[in-house]
Structure 1
C-alpha cells in the first residue's frame, strides 16, 4: 500500500453532536485527527456550538451546529408527513450552517463526516454540488441501519424511513461516479445492507478507536474479585436491563470467585427508546456487587477504567447490532481485555476475528449469567489469550489501514 505524505493537505472532520466527552464522538474524532496530524495533514473540526474548550486535543475547532438529533432537537414522529417535516428542517439547518462555513474557508482536500444520519443526508447532497471547488472529496460514514436512529420498533414509520434514505442515497450516484463523494461504514454487514438498498459501494473503515494495554505486574491473586465493566452510557439497545438481571441471578447463586461490576450510567435513567424508564438497581449497588459511574468520563478516565477490567460485558441486542458495530469491543481487544458479546451480532464476528471471549444468547439474562460464570472459572486463561490477540486487533484497526481507506489510496498508485 503506497504511503503518501499528507503535508499541505487539509482535512475537515464534521461532527455536529460533538460537545464534550459524552458518547463516542470525541474519542473517535480525536483519533482520526491524530492519525492525520502524524502524516502532516492540517486538521480542523466542525462541532456543536456548545463544544467544550477543555477537550484534550490540538486542533482548530469551529463551534458550528446549533442543534443535532442527539441533543433532542429533532424528535421522532409516527406520521410520515411529520417525520418528513422534521427531516427537512434538520437538513436545512445543517446545510445553512455548513454552507456558511465552506463559503468563508479555504478548500479542504477531504471532508470526513463520521456519523451521518438522515438528518444531514440531504444537506450533504446539496453541499457537494454547490461547493465542488471547496470540497475535494466528502467521505460520509453511516454507522446505523436505514431505519435508524429515528425508527420506532414495530411501527410502520420504519418502512417509510428506509424508503426515504434509499431514495436520497441514489441521488448521490453522479457525485460518487465523479469521485466527489465516497460512502463508508464500519461493518461488513451494514455495507452489504446499503449496497443492496441503493446500489452504491460502501467502504468498510476499521475503527479509529483503541486503548493501550495495561502494564502486566504478574498473575492476579486468585482471591481478588474479578472486575467486569460495562462502558459507554447505559442504554436499552446495549442490553443494560439484561446485564442487571444477570447480576441478580449471580448474586442469588454466587460463583466461587468474587465478582465486581462497574457500570457507566451517566444519566439518571438509561435511554429506553419509548419503553419504561431504566434506572440503576440501587440494591445491587448497596450490596457491593455493582458500582455505578454516574458522570461522563474523560478520555483518560475511560481508558484507565477499561484497562482495569478483567472482562468487558457487551450484551448488545441483536436488533440493531446485527448490522451495527461497537467501538468498545475494538478498544477492549486492542487493550487485551476479553469480552462477552451477543450471538449473531457484528460483535461476535469481531470477537472471532481479532478478539477473545464468550458469546451469550440475545436478551437472555440466564445465559449471560452462565457465560460470566464460565469466564470467572477460567479468567487467567481468557486474559492470556486476549493479550496474545492484541497484535491481530491492532493490525486490523491500524492507523495506516484506516488512513489508506479514508483517503482512497490504492495499491501500486
Structure 2
C-alpha cells in the first residue's frame, strides 16, 4: 500500500493549528486508500491522531527555531558578502540525518508521497541533502510554502532584503543539490504563488486550503448579545495586542454587554511572544467579567469547531503587511462555517469574495468602526455569510487538497512542462531550471 507521509516538526502539543491541519489532511488521505504516517517533533506530548497509522517522533527543532537560526546566520553572511546558503548548514545536515532515520523506521519506499506543509530554508536544504544519500528513498515530495515574501521597495534597513535573499538562496541551492525523487512546490493562495514564481527558481502551484469536512455550518440564532471571538495564539502579527483598545473603544461607543460579549483565546505561543502581547494579556486578564471571557488553548478539534460555530463574529485583526498574500486558517474556517469576520484590507482575505459577509478595515484605528457596522447590520451580513459558505466549501476542503496532489496538479504540471519544452529552443528557461530534477 502506498504511503502518504506528512512531516511537521512543529507539532509538539496535543492540540493547536499544526496538529489540526495534519489531522484533516491525513483523514482525507486515508479516505483515498493511503497508509498514513505522521512525523512530529521529538519532544511532542502524546499526539492523538486516529487517522495516522504511524506516528513517529523524529525531529529535534521546530520550524520557528530553525527560522530564528536562519535569520541570524544569513544576516551575518549577508554583511560579509558571503554566498553561503540561507540558514545554518549544520542544522540542515541534522535534519537530513533525521529524515534518513525516520524513513528507514517507517519503511518509506519508491513513489511514497511526502507532504511538508511547514518548512523554511533549513528544512528545504535538509531535504536536498537527504536526497543525495546512498540509501535515500526515491520519494514524491510535495512542499507547501505559506508565508509572504518580504517587500523590499522603500526598505532602508536591509532586513527585508536579507529575508528575501534567504528564501531565494535556499531555492537555488535546493535546485543544485536535489537528486533522487521528484518535487513539486506549492502555496495555498494564487497571490502567494505569484510572489514565489517571480523568483524564477521553481514553478509554484496553488493548493486548496484543507477545511475540515466535519466543520458544520453555523446555525443562525439572532440572539443578543452577539459573541465576538478571537481564536488562535496570542501573537503580535495576529493583532492580539490591539484587542484591549478595541474593546475599550467599542464599550465607549455604546456597545455594552447587552449587545456584544467578547471571547478571546489568550494562550501565549512557545516562542516569539513580545512585550506588547504580554501587556495586552495582562490588561485583558484584569478586565475579565460577564462581557469578556479569556480562553487558554490550544484546543482539540471538537472544542475548536464548537468555538467557531458558536461565534457570531470572528475577529481577524492581523497585520496586513504579514498577510498580503498568505492565507489565514481561522478566516478560511470562519467562511466555511458561515460566520461573519472582521479582517484587514490589502490582504488575501479581501480578495476572497465581496459577498462573504465580512467587513474589512484599513488601519487598526478603523477596526472599531468596522465592528460597529457589522453589529448594526448583522442580519444582512449573516445572511451573506451563510450563503457564501456553500460556495467556499466547493473550493476548499481536505479532500480537494489530496485530490489535487495525486490527480489534478500533476496533470497541470506535465502540461506546463510540455509548453516549456516547446519554448526551450527559443531561448526560454528550461524545464529543469523551473521545475528541478526528477531522477526516478
TM-score bracket for this pair, using the shorter chain length = 0.7 to 0.9
Seen in structure 2, the aligned counterparts of structure 1 residues 255 and 191 have a Cα distance that, compared at 3 Å, is: same
Q: Secondary structure at the match of 1:130?
A: coil
Q: Secondary structure at the match of 2:205?
A: strand
Q: Secondary structure at the match of 1:236?
A: coil
Partners in 2 of 1:207 and 1:387 — Cα distance?
19
- Contact 1:18–1:25 (CA under 8 A) maintained in structure 2: yes
Task: Using the TM superposition, give the Cα deviation of residue 220 of structure 1 relative to its aligned residue in structure 2, in angstroms.
Answer: 2.6
Q: Which stretch shows the higher mean deviation, 125-134 or 332-341?
A: 125-134
Structure 1 unaligned segments of length 5 or more: list them: 1-7
- Contact 1:20–1:52 (CA under 8 A) maintained in structure 2: yes
Q: Secondary structure at the match of 1:352?
A: coil
User: Where does residue 194 of structure 1 map in the other structure?
Assistant: 196
- Contact 1:239–1:315 (CA under 8 A) maintained in structure 2: yes
Seen in structure 2, the aligned counterparts of structure 1 residues 175 and 71 have a Cα distance that, compared at 3 Å, is: closer
Q: Which stretch shows the higher mean deviation, 49-58 or 65-74?
A: 65-74
Q: What are the within-5 Å matches in structure 2 for residues 13-412 of structure 1?
A: 13-59=6-52, 60-70=54-64, 74-75=68-69, 76-77=71-72, 80-81=75-76, 87-104=88-105, 105-107=107-109, 109-130=112-133, 134-146=137-149, 155-173=157-175, 180-210=182-212, 212-214=215-217, 216=219, 219-221=221-223, 224-255=224-255, 258-267=259-268, 271-272=272-273, 277-280=278-281, 281-282=283-284, 285-352=287-354, 355-362=356-363, 364-365=364-365, 367-407=366-406, 408-410=409-411
Q: Secondary structure at the match of 1:410?
A: helix
Count of equivalent residues: 396
Q: Secondary structure at the match of 2:37?
A: strand
Structure 2 unaligned segments of length 5 or more: list them: 79-84, 416-440
Q: Which stretch shows the higher mean deviation, 328-337 or 279-288?
A: 279-288
Seen in structure 2, the aligned counterparts of structure 1 residues 204 and 240 have a Cα distance that, compared at 3 Å, is: same
Partners in 2 of 1:269 and 1:21 — Cα distance?
14
User: Where does residue 5 of structure 1 map in the other structure?
Assistant: none
Partners in 1 of 2:315 and 2:353 — Cα distance?
12
Relative to the length of structure 1, the TM-score reads: 0.85
Task: Using the TM superposition, give the Cα deviation of residue 58 of structure 1 relative to its aligned residue in structure 2, in angstroms.
Answer: 3.1
Q: Secondary structure at the match of 2:185?
A: strand
Q: Secondary structure at the match of 2:336?
A: helix
Seen in structure 2, the aligned counterparts of structure 1 residues 305 and 19 have a Cα distance that, compared at 3 Å, is: same
Task: Using the TM superposition, give the Cα deviation of residue 273 of structure 1 relative to its aligned residue in structure 2, in angstroms.
Answer: 5.2
Partners in 2 of 1:270 and 1:154 — Cα distance?
27
- Contact 1:208–1:399 (CA under 8 A) maintained in structure 2: yes
Task: Using the TM superposition, give the Cα deviation of residue 133 of structure 1 relative to its aligned residue in structure 2, in angstroms.
Answer: 6.1
Partners in 2 of 1:119 and 1:268 — Cα distance?
21
Task: Using the TM superposition, give the Cα deviation of residue 409 of structure 1 relative to its aligned residue in structure 2, in angstroms.
Answer: 4.4
Cα deviations across residues 256-314 of structure 1 (Å, max 9, x unaligned)?
76111111111299945586744322377335332111232122111101110001110
Relative to the length of structure 2, the TM-score reads: 0.81
Aligned CA RMSD, in angstroms, stands at 3.2
Q: Secondary structure at the match of 2:352?
A: helix
Task: Using the TM superposition, give the Cα deviation of residue 183 of structure 1 relative to its aligned residue in structure 2, in angstroms.
Answer: 0.6
Cα deviations across residues 219-238 of structure 1 (Å, max 9, x unaligned)?
433xx210011111111111
User: Where does residue 12 of structure 1 map in the other structure?
Assistant: 5
Task: Using the TM superposition, give the Cα deviation of residue 128 of structure 1 relative to its aligned residue in structure 2, in angstroms.
Answer: 3.1
Partners in 2 of 1:72 and 1:163 — Cα distance?
16
Partners in 2 of 1:177 and 1:66 — Cα distance?
25
Task: Using the TM superposition, give the Cα deviation of residue 62 of structure 1 relative to its aligned residue in structure 2, in angstroms.
Answer: 0.5
